[in-house]
Structure 1
Amino acid sequence: MLKKKLLFILLLCLFFVNQGVEPTKAESNFIRIAVKEGFDGKIKSGRGFPIQVTVENSGADFSGDILFNFATSYNSSGAKAISIDVPKGSKKTYSLSIPAYSEDYSNNGQIKQSIFLYKGSWKDNHEQDFIGDKMLKPKYIDQDKRTIGFLSEDSDRLKELKVMALANQIEPIVLTEDMVPEDEIGLDSLDYILIDEFAISKFKKPQQQAILNWIQNGGKLIAGAAPNAASSYGSLYQVLPMKPDKEVAAETKFFQLTPALLAFQHIPVFVGQVEVGAEITVRSGDLPMVVHKGYGAGEIWQTAFSLGDEPLSSWKEYGQWFAASPMLSSTSKSQLQNGGQNPFDMLFNEFAEINEYFSSTQFSVGQISLFLFMYLLLLAPFLYFLLKRLDKREHAWWIIIGAAVLSSVGIFAIGAKDRIAKPQMNQTGIYKAENDQLTGLEAVTLLSNTSGDYQVGFSKGSFYGVPGPSNMAVSDGKRYAVLENGRKSSSVTFPNVEFWATRTYFGHASKQNAGQFDIKLSYENKKLTGTIVNQFPYDFEELYIWSGSQKINLGSLKRGESLTVNETFQQDYLAGPYSQGNSFQVPNSQQEVDKFKKKRMEYVAIENLYNNSQSENQPILYGYTKDSVIEADIKGKNESIKGLSLIYQTLALDTKFSGSFTIKDDMLRTHLNIIHGGFFNDSSENRREMDLDDGEYDYVLELPNQLSKMKREFKDLEITWQGTNITCSLLNHSNGTFLPLTNSPAVIKEHLDEFISKDGVITIKLIKTGQGDPHVRMPALSIKGEISQ
């Protein structure tokens, strides 16, 4: 009888448990999730991309969060959250962008799920089951390929350009309006965007701004002509290098690849005023056909002709001409990723890692020795005589122990007072100022004072970052850092932070309407004179002018104030800054932290921003401010914030100079174009040394901007190189051929204007051959000449 009662009670319990569990499971199974990753399912490893997620609800009203796990590298992961609200019987589509996705993450066979659904806020941890896609499964574009997105009213018009792209290791992607995200990080997998008579104006304002920001962060826009460009291009029209206002017929000789005449002698073109500072790279008579300008770290190429109209669209040699044009011949940002090294790992090591050093009270060896002296030599004898006099020597045991405990507590309290009271936060920013906008990099690191969740919010700008490296498995992204975007601000939440632990968030950042330096300077007889007005909303504690390897400290400059400049340089003319390399030493004191931090900031400003931008070889004005460009705060905490930002602006100087000159390496701006091959390391101590795979490279050097605009005559060009694993040849700009250089040093004294372009560019082709040693010392140049007024 007892057994029957126990069996009945057991069955009854199972019935009620089943009744409690089944409704939740049934309700969650009414949610179906479908995702579309990237561009037609394709992305670049380590680069951002958009996601379209469709949520279908066949049950009761549902609101909650979806989390998408991602990994930027093998040891850095996070999750991107998006809130959904899907009424009963409805279907909704949402868009978001993921900052990066690593092939290491996709290939991890232990990961069975990367998409998670939560009822209500994800912070409440009410995870729900659902049906549909539970993993992101993008296809990866080969890292050696560039990517080009086509925006056209009819993509068939661009069939010749698609064929051209495939033949030149470029992945062609046909874009639609719903593929374009509302933040620039979603466009990061694209190297080029080509627009062919497509109404950008019908995009949402955030989509148009995303394209503008994508260009500023290194993208390349190719804009074809349209009958009504002002209305067609929307927000992009304001940044086009040419403002077309009339239609004319242009001869087509500039298209000819062979002496044979083209079947079409004229095409309609739209021309107008060319912006000051823009460059006309292709002409038809006096008419500009292709116009170019730099925009932030990116470029804008504009054609006077439609990119997809007849007769070009059916011309069989159109793709061949386009591939040889300067629009595709410039270095792409995929070639600037240090030979395939994960860009986030490189950026963390060079930039964000130094942000994780926090100031604290430190005791020197002398101070600790003094404590021991007082304790051993003063306390012990003092107690002995005192207690002997009082006849209380039996109390010595607890007094000595008590003194030791009090001393230890005191030392601990003094050393840890900053970390006990409140959490701390370091902010480091590096920005280029251009057109009243700041574009660059930001790193934010928190140091917890207690364990628990920490949410860091950002405002007053755009900040698209990724979490720093962690000791957690990449499969635990949603447990390490969760990113959320709001309309006016964004945030990252670090769950379950340990006691006295650091968390870092870093990446690209920008700010509109940020101000600038109003610079009115002239240079004559090695004297720089004029005024600088600080129109930024920041106070600069230190301000420098940097030309070549020489820096001059101008002092401090507060917001709204002006500074009179009267400085002497060692150079006849000023050039772009020359970085002496990076130091990865470990600081031993707070003074060394500050010193190393500024040295690294200067290195990254030049190598990651200046050298990768479209700035001409010009000197810079830069300064340090403790004011934050991107405002950050820890929600619900009274944190202590320490900020430091470097902001630089290029100097376009009015230079007066005549007489002989000599140019050395530190006055030349350089970059390496990869024809085929790759580089996987550049020396941290000297950027003129690299480790190269076997292959072919174009080593490009630029003269100072001021010199290229003067009436000059070159007398002597000397090129020196070392090693037997490279051969060098020099480009003749007049006929496009390369002159082999047989002996080092090679000295050229005749027809130098053929080897140095009108814009002051020298190109040396390097052929790296297999000699068992990847290390290559780049050729060194010395140029002599004369300037006449």
Structure 2
Amino acid sequence: MVRPLKRAAVCLVAAGFLGGLAFCAPAWAQDDPVSMDVSYGYEDSAKGGRYLPVNVTIQNNQETPVEGTLEIKTRESDETVYRYDYGVEVEAKGSETTRYYIPLGTAADELVLSLTDSSDNVLLNRKVKLNVSRDVPELFVGVLSDAPWELHYFNGVGINYSTLRTRTFELDGTDFPEDEVGLSLFDVLVVNDYKLRDLSGTQTAAIMNWVQDGGVLILGTGDRVDDTLGRFAPELLDDSYGTPNITHINLAEDFTAVNEPGAGMLAISCVDVPLHGGNVILSSNGFPLLTAAVKEQGLVAVAAFDLGDIADFCEKQTSYVDYLFTNLLGEERINQLAEVVYSGNSGRFWAVQGLINTGDVDKLPNLWLYVGITGLYLIILGPGLYLFLRGRGLQNMYRKGVVIVALGFSALVYVLGMPTRFRSTFYTYAAIQDVTDDYITDTTYINIRNPYNRPYTVELDPGYRLLPITRSSQYTVGGQSLDVDEPYQIAIRTEEDMLTVKGQNISAFTPRYFRLERRTENTDRVGITGEVDYFEGQIQGTLTNQFPYPIENATLVLYGNMVQIGRMEPGETKNLADYELLRYPLGDSYLAAEHISGEDAYASADIRNKNYMLAVERSNLTRFYLDNYLNGYTADARVIAFSTQKEESQFLKNPSEETYGITMLTQTVPVNASRDSSIYRSVLMKTPKVLGGSYDAETNSMSGAEPLTLEYQFGTDIEVESLTFETVSEEFAGSGSSLSRIFTGSIYFYNYATGNFDKMELEGTTLDVEQLKSYLSPGNTLTVRYAYNGGGFDAIQLPMPMVAGRERGC
């Protein structure tokens, strides 16, 4: 069960006492007219850069009701103060308990809560010291299980040379969050030995939404596979899972740190889980023990066994949990989680700034017009006015004439400059609308700026959830003390029918970035629907625009492949076979985005060209999307396109002319990659084993400084029939991008018959099973050595190995 949230009716903070934890006064002071009790987080813990659950109980000891505002102040990553306001009503002699989710900056380690009445008189203040780890980055692991004690081995483990340290929290299903924001504090959620159907539909939906936002879900199965996996089976599996059977496995097959022979040999109940788009993380004699699949920004991992069944082994082999998490999360994700403690969320801030730090080109002044007016002014003011007056004998009027001409031209310049001026608060935005059959998830990034050095108020659509995006003000994140009376820079008021942002003490034109999120039902069944068939490098199928307006730059993206469709009218259907299938450099989102948006068609930058600027903005948003939403192997395809409908004020409660931005539309389209019981898929769905050299699995690239040797794993579920190494299309070769260097050199296959590496000629060649016979191991693996002979040694793009074969048992 979850331990009670930390009490923090704080009157005194004892520095150094128990590591700086708050020393709490008694919860209630019955003699006070109004008193407050505060609790936060899970098991007395908070984490910067996340939403913090804060429970506030207000006790009214008066004979009259209390109506006012609860103000919660916190310091954001850039050291500025943000305040969150909520309306409060407490009846006479009554109490009210409410849970609030407060965005917590990476510099924050305390909250200041104030209760004010309807006249803004302060009734009471509370200062809450938060238990935030500043020394060692922590990996928060939520555990949902009927037997959580069996998973204690997950706690307190150093991950990837102690880059992170795990900390587990036992969750109670009776108080499980109904919104993904309630899981925001967790990096990993482990569900094992628990019946998920005991949760409501909204609670299980919250889990998957949390995963899509970047969470990692680990499901234990074994004998209780129906309980833990059954509810998610339709959206996670290619086929129904098998029946649990006692299976002899070796947990230490690739785990070299085992300290006693045979320790990893277990006979436990296992089940074969056909996870859709799954990448085998751990295996034993070809049987997948842990399989993971990318879901938007997060991961879903399914173990073939009950995680409690390996507790004894993990408690003896203490580094096995490190091995498991390091392989599952990957070095890049681990470093990103650790970076928040050391340098805050600056990476996200700079990415968003580059995304929406633009504006309407119509606001740019016409330079040549002003040059012409200035020239005309000088001509008239100089010889023109003098000669005009002298011809009429009015030379003595020259001084007055100069003043009149200067005033006239000043008025002209002012009038001509009116369209370029901002008269009130203005906004730039970039929106991503992800569509499914049931929902539309709208994620909008906005930049709010004010042209004056005075306070401003913005009313947003109350259907959105608002999250500030700030950068760290220093390299080492550390909080300054927050005074009770310290003024705020941004105040955010949230009510059922109200979402307002107030700014004060902010210089003119200073940007403030926010992320807005909203999920609505897809009642009109809009979207980009279709069917995709992909086999042996050939793509077929159709896509239909179900939006009531044209879309542009429509592109089908399939793990390193793209099909550019272009503009689609409402209701129009396109045949994919009519378009060229291009393979782009997997790790070069910049190059891919330029090609999708059409920016690469312009020889030079021209900020006065509306079409060019539109292409740049779409390229920026596409690159942001590829980096944050499509950064791993997925078996499905994704359609991206841009809306031609200008919904400039969609996030505002009241329309405003001072908004500018673009909207991207996205939708997942299932891919049929099978034909006559044969399947065609990327070999990289299973991360290759590096036997020598330097390899980046995220981008399928190598360092050219030394040869690279990889062991590709085809999987035990397929009988290989052919293998093709697909190279990057010529459209992307020779680009100036540093990530677009294409592999040139020699490729060798390890020959199991001779024990030597054989040089292969693979360009444009598909190898059949007879040609591969000497190179496939009994475990269905292929060992390949790449020797690069080109110039430069950074991020050399390797060809994409694609395998076709018959599924075993079919």
TM-score, normalised to structure 2's length?
Answer: 0.67
Secondary structure of residue in 1 paired with 2:459: strand
Describe the shift of the 1:281–1:344 C-alpha distance in structure 2 as closer, same or farther (beyond 3 A).
closer
Unmatched runs of 5 consecutive residues or more in structure 2: 1-28, 254-260, 595-603, 676-680, 691-698, 728-737, 739-746, 758-771, 787-791
Q: Deviations over 1:31-66 (max 9, x none)?
A: 333333322222333333322233333345323222
1:170-200 per-residue CA deviation (whole Å, 9 max, x = no partner) reads: 4232233487545434433322111234455
Change (3 A) 1:96 1:709: farther
Preserved CA contact (<8 Å) 1:494 1:503: no
- One-letter code of the match for 1:777? D
Change (3 A) 1:541 1:787: closer
Alignment of 1:426-575 (within 5 A): 426-430=428-432, 441-448=443-450, 451-458=454-461, 463-468=465-470, 479-487=488-496, 490-495=499-504, 502-506=511-515, 513=522, 515-522=526-533, 530-536=541-547, 539-545=550-556, 553-565=564-576, 567=578, 569=580
Q: Residues 139-288 of structure 1 correspond to what in structure 2 (within 5 A)?
A: 139-140=132-133, 144-162=137-155, 170-177=165-172, 180-198=176-194, 207-225=203-221, 239=235, 241=237, 250-254=245-249, 257=252, 265=267, 267=269
Which has the higher mean CA deviation after the structures are superposed, 142-151 or 325-334?
A: 325-334
Cα distance, 1:619 vs structure 2: 6.7
Q: CA shift at 1:328, angstroms?
A: 6.5
1:96 correspondence with 2:100? yes
Letter in 1 for 2:350: N
Query: For the residues of structure 2 that align with 1:217 and 1:711, how far apart are their CA atoms?
Result: 38
> How far apart, in 1, do the equivalents of 2:305 and 2:466 lie?
36
Deviation string, structure 1 residues 598-621 (Cα, Å, up to 9, x no partner): 33222212222211x5524x7754
Give secondary structure in 1 for the equivalent of 2:589: coil
For structure 1, which runs of at least 5 residues remain unmatched after alignment? 1-25, 107-112, 658-662, 675-685, 691-697, 722-729, 742-748, 765-774
Which residue does 2:43 correspond to in 1?
40
Superposed displacement of residue 253, structure 1: 0.9
Q: Does the alignment pair 1:602 with 2:586?
A: no
Are 2:379 and 1:377 equivalent residues in the alignment? yes
1:351-362 matches, cutoff 5 A = 351-359=352-360, 360-362=362-364
Note closer, same or farther for the CA distance 1:158–1:365 as it changes in structure 2 (3 Å cut): closer
Tell me, yes or no, if the aligned pair for 2:532 and 2:542 is still in contact at 8 Å.
yes
Give the AA of the match of 1:156.
Answer: W
- Summarize the Cα distance change of 1:366–1:709 in structure 2 as closer, same or farther, 3 Å threshold: farther
Q: Which moved more, 1:215-224 or 1:519-528?
A: 519-528
**1:689 to partner: Cα distance:** 9.6
8 A contact 1:290–1:301 mirrored in 2 = yes
Q: Once superposed, what is the RMSD of the aligned Cα atoms? A: 5.9
> Compared with structure 1, are the counterparts of its residues 783 and 165 closer, same or farther at alpha carbon in structure 2 (3 Å cutoff)?
closer
Aligned amino acid, residue 722 of structure 2: R
Deviates more, 1:446-455 or 1:601-610: 446-455
Q: Kindly tell me: are residues 415 and 504 of structure 1, through their superposed partners in 2, closer, same or farther at Cα, counting changes over 3 Å?
A: farther
Percent of aligned pairs sharing the same letter: 14
Which of residues 618, 621, 640 in structure 2 aligns to 1:622?
Answer: 640
- Classify the secondary structure of the residue corresponding to 1:153: coil
1:367 to partner: Cα distance: 2.3
Task: Name 1:405's counterpart in structure 2.
Answer: 407
Alpha-carbon distance in structure 1 between the residues aligned to 2:335 and 2:442: 16
Amino acid corresponding to residue 643 of structure 2 in structure 1: T
- Among residues 699, 715, 722, which one is paired with 1:712 in the alignment? 722
- Cα distance between partner residues in 1 of 2:751 and 2:170: 39
- What SS does structure 2 have at the residue aligned with 1:48? strand
> Partners in 2 of 1:687 and 1:648 — Cα distance?
25
C-alpha distance after superposition, 1:709-755 (max 9, x if no partner): 973247999xxx9xxxxxxxx9x9999xxx9x9xxxxxxx9975569
Q: Is the alpha carbon distance of 1:274 and 1:599 closer, same or farther for their aligned partners in structure 2, counting shifts above 3 Å? A: closer
Pick which of 254-263 and 299-308 moved more: 254-263
2-side partners of 1:404 and 1:80: how far apart?
Answer: 50
Residue 337 (structure 1) aligns with: 336
Question: 1:533 offset after TM fit, Å?
Answer: 0.5
| Preserved CA contact (<8 Å) 2:562 2:584 | no
C-alpha contact (below 8 Å) 2:751/2:775 kept by paired residues: no
Q: Counterpart in 1 of 2:86?
A: 82
How far apart, in 2, do the equivalents of 1:244 and 1:504 lie?
45
CA gap 1:146/1:231 in 2 versus in 1, 3 angstroms: closer
Q: Does residue 1:416 correspond to 2:418, yes or no? A: yes
* Aligned CA distance change for structure 1 residues 432 and 703 (closer, same or farther; 3 Å): farther
What is the DSSP-based 3-state SS (H/G/I as helix, E as strand, rest coil) of the residue aligned with 2:407? helix
Compute the TM-score of the two structures, normalised by the length of structure 1: 0.69
In structure 2, relative to structure 1, the CA distance for the partners of 1:154 and 1:671 (3 Å cut) is closer
Measured in 2, the distance between the counterparts of 1:237 and 1:383 equals: 85
> Given the superposition, is the C-alpha separation of residues 223 and 318 from structure 1 closer, same or farther in structure 2, using an over 3 Å criterion?
farther
Q: Deviations over 1:123-162 (max 9, x none)?
A: x6433333xx413422227654422111223432333444
Find out whether 1:118 has 2:135 as its counterpart: no
Deviation at 1:501, TM superposition (A): 5.6
Q: Which residue of structure 1 aligns with residue 130 of structure 2?
A: 137
**Any idea what SS the aligned residue of 2:413 has?**
helix
Contact 1:146–1:170 (8 Å) recurs in 2: yes
Q: What is the SS of the residue equivalent to 1:560?
A: coil
- Separation in structure 2 between the aligned mates of residue 607 and residue 701 of structure 1, nearest angstrom: 27
- For residue 569 of structure 1, report the CA deviation from its aligned partner: 3.6
Instruction: Tell me, yes or no, if structure 1 residue 297 matches structure 2 residue 301.
Output: no
Deviations 1:90-117 (A, max 9, x none): 44332122223324x43xxxxxx74131
Q: Aligned runs of 1:758-769 on 2, under 5 Å?
A: none
Deviation at 1:645, TM superposition (A): 2.0
In the alignment, the residues of structure 1 paired with residue 319 and residue 437 of structure 2 have an alpha-carbon distance, to the nearest angstrom, of 33
Q: How many residues align?
A: 693
The code of the aligned residue for 2:621 comes to M
Larger deviation, residues 251-260 vs 227-236: 227-236
Distance 1:74 1:209 in 2: 33
2:544 alignment partner AA:
V
State the AA in 2 paired with 1:412.
Y
User: 1:262, 1:501 → 2: CA distance?
Assistant: 59
Verify the 8 A CA contact 2:56 2:98 in the aligned structure 1.
Answer: yes
- Tell whether the 8 Å contact from 1:457 to 1:633 is kept in structure 2 after alignment: yes
Q: Which amino acid aligns with 1:351?
A: V
Match of 1:3 in 2: none
Q: Deviations over 1:518-553 (max 9, x none)?
A: 233456897755431123466423323567988765
Residue by residue, what CA displacement relative to the aligned partner does 1:737-783 show, whole Å, maximum 9, x if unpaired?
xx9x9xxxxxxx9975569977x99999xxxxxxxxxx993465457
Residue aligned with 1:102, SS:
coil
CA contact (8 A) 2:560 2:584 kept: no
Q: In structure 1, what residue type is equivalent to 2:431?
A: G
1:30 aligns with 2:33: yes
- The DSSP-based 3-state class of the residue aligned with 1:41 is coil
Post-superposition CA distance 1:246-303 (Å, at most 9, x none): 9x66214126658859998564x788x9576567878999999766543322222345
SS in 1 for 2:488: helix
In 2, Cα distance between equivalents of 1:98 and 1:194: 24
